[in-house]
Amino acid sequence: MVEGVFSRSGKGSIRPIELGRRLVREMDDHRSVDVKGRRIVPNQFEFHISPHDHIGFADIEEALVTELGEAAREHAREEGYHFMGPVSVSLLVDEASKPGRFTIASAMRETGGGVGAGRLVMPSGERIPLTSQIITIGRLADSGIQINDANVSRRHAEFRAHGTSFAIVDLGSTNGTKLNGIRIEGEHGLSDGDIISFGGTHIRFEAS
């Protein structure tokens, strides 16, 4: 499980790591199999916490929600799970909850977003929004995303929009493009949390 916020303590009675552990257990407990034989799990999570604990998380809430989403994606990669849509995590105030206690509600939801409902997260943390425009990856200076790596071809790959989703297309590169560690050929659709590798550069796709 990712570190960072999980190793910190909020000012409430609930430790962030408790939320992370409960989230991945929720995925395990509610996994299913779709018509393609893939193991699918919830992608939307709502934590119901007391007003006291919500105030305690006030200064780290944004970072905590982000890391909880990362924990879900990481667990899915490790277990070979698939999401039906983008991962969403929220902390909701429940007046009936007592400090130190929380509940979680999860659901499997398909994405309702259209073209543009996605972004690339670069190694630097920069987020590049995806639109209907093709983004080229390569060593050339006029590439949409230029990667100065001898293992990356001049015109290596492209990110393309297809209907309401996005795909990565290898352009016959010399050293190949990897999707979640597996070399691909041609075009492959992208799912929330996928890691696309070009040489030593790893880019994460996020649906939104």
Strands laid side by side in the 145-146 sheet: 145-146, 135-138, 157-162, 165-170, 187-189
C-alpha–C-alpha distance, residues 196 and 145, integer Å:
13
Q: Each residue's pLDDT tens digit in the chain (208 positions)?
A: 444 555 555 455 899 999 999 999 999 999 999 887 888 999 999 999 999 999 999 889 988 998 998 899 889 888 988 887 778 899 999 999 999 999 999 999 875 544 446 889 899 888 888 888 899 999 999 999 999 999 999 999 999 988 778 999 999 999 999 999 999 999 999 988 899 999 999 999 987 6
pLDDT for 113 equals: 46
pLDDT for 182 equals: 94
68-99 burial: b if 16+ Cβ within 10 Å, else e:
bbbbbbbbbeeeebbbbbbbbbebeebeebee
pLDDT for 114 equals: 44
pTM above 0.95, yes or no: no
